[in-house]
Amino acid sequence: MSREIRAEPLTAEAFAPFGDVLELRDAPDKMINAGLCGRHHDLAALDFGPEGRAGISLFDAQPRSFPYELTLLERHPEGSQAFVPLTEHPFLVIVAPDVEGKPGTPRAFLTTPHQGINFHRGTWHGVLTPLHAPGLFAVVDRIGATPNLEEIFLDPPYIVVP
Amino acid sequence: MSREIRAEPLTAEAFAPFGDVLELRDAPDKMINAGLCGRHHDLAALDFGPEGRAGISLFDAQPRSFPYELTLLERHPEGSQAFVPLTEHPFLVIVAPDVEGKPGTPRAFLTTPHQGINFHRGTWHGVLTPLHAPGLFAVVDRIGATPNLEEIFLDPPYIVVP
């Protein structure tokens, strides 16, 4: 069985089983500020569980490169997690379907500039993988008292290629 | 009385009466992802009131230039509002103290790359003013049934200079 995964372009349709793509729609939902600003409204299914609340954090991640060795998938059972890049560089987004409580075969997506993503609550995903420095992202996720983390190590790893 | 306002550098200390600066701290609160990512944790005082919830929207605003004519201030009585730039370009942030229910003398701040901001609930502020195209921002604010908006037109306007 091949362990090679080819990165696909990130589209809302392809990513829908895993989460939301944060990008401009064809037209804004509303023009505000005397017509000078388009509001593309409420693009992410946020879910922080009954005990959590929303927070904004910044993540500063080391850039990776292709071929990328995928050794770890994780999920947050108690909350969604959104990533907004603070740069215009593409980054790599890795997800996997859930198969009886474990991740199935992963899929990899490559963003275009000005795309962010929101992982739905409980979605298996790879760690943050920028491809360029600085690897800076605003993250909207659950603030709460629990660890809210499940990790699965992959042996042998998958290899993600462009 | 002069109506000219000079833009100041955006610092957490100067901005504290109005909101939060979303920027890396001196050190991350936690290293995650096997040491490859620093988490700068929970940087914004989010408040969406008893009837609201958090949402992520994208704003696509027309770039402005100096001297900038400030004709309008607004506030959201029911929620905080955070702006994260999707580019590395500086943008202009205008705020004003509340003086008996009306905005006092405004202050203007100029960001540096990778800075975002969060206006605290009820803070008087100018509309989104990017200085470069594309004027794209992720916005974390209140999703709810009410208009959540108060506007004050300024006559004569203030003039913001760099």
* % of chain A with per-residue pLDDT over 70: 99
Which distant-in-sequence residues (6+ apart) come within 8 Å of A35 by Cβ?
none
In chain A, residues with a C-beta closer than 8 Å to the C-beta of B37 are 59-62, 127-128, 135
Q: What pLDDT sits at residue B1?
A: 57
pLDDT per position as a tens digit, B22-61:
999 999 999 999 899 999 999 999 999 989 999 999 999 9
Among candidate residues A14, A73, A19, A15, the one with its CA nearest the CA of residue A46: A19
A21 within 8 A of A124, measured Cβ to Cβ: no
ipTM above 0.95, yes or no: yes
Find the closest chain A residue to B130 by CA distance.
Answer: A37
Number of A to B CB contacts under 8 A, please give it: 151
**Domain, as residue range, for A85:** 4-161
Secondary structure letter of residue A11 according to DSSP: -
Closest by Cβ to B85, choosing from A38, A86, A140: A86
Q: Over the stretch B50-76, which tens digit does the pLDDT of each residue have?
A: 899 999 999 999 999 999 999 999 999
- The verdict on A39 touching B (C-beta cutoff 8 Å) is yes
Q: Do A128 and B33 touch (CB under 8 A)?
A: yes
Burial of A137 (0-12, 13-18, 19+ CB in 10 A): buried
How many C-beta neighbours within 10 Å does residue B131 have? 18
CATH number of the domain to which A63 belongs: 2.60.120.480
pLDDT band at B158 (very low <50, low <70, confident <90, very high): very high
The β-bridge partners of A152 are A73
Q: Is the per-residue pLDDT at A76 higher than 70?
A: yes
Model pTM? 0.97
Does the beta carbon of A56 lie under 8 angstroms from any beta carbon of chain B? Answer: yes
Nearest chain A Cα distance for residue B6, angstroms: 22
Confidence of residue A105 (pLDDT cuts 50, 70, 90): very high
Whether residue B38 and residue A59 make contact (CB cut-off 8 A), yes or no, is yes
* Count: domains in chain A: 1
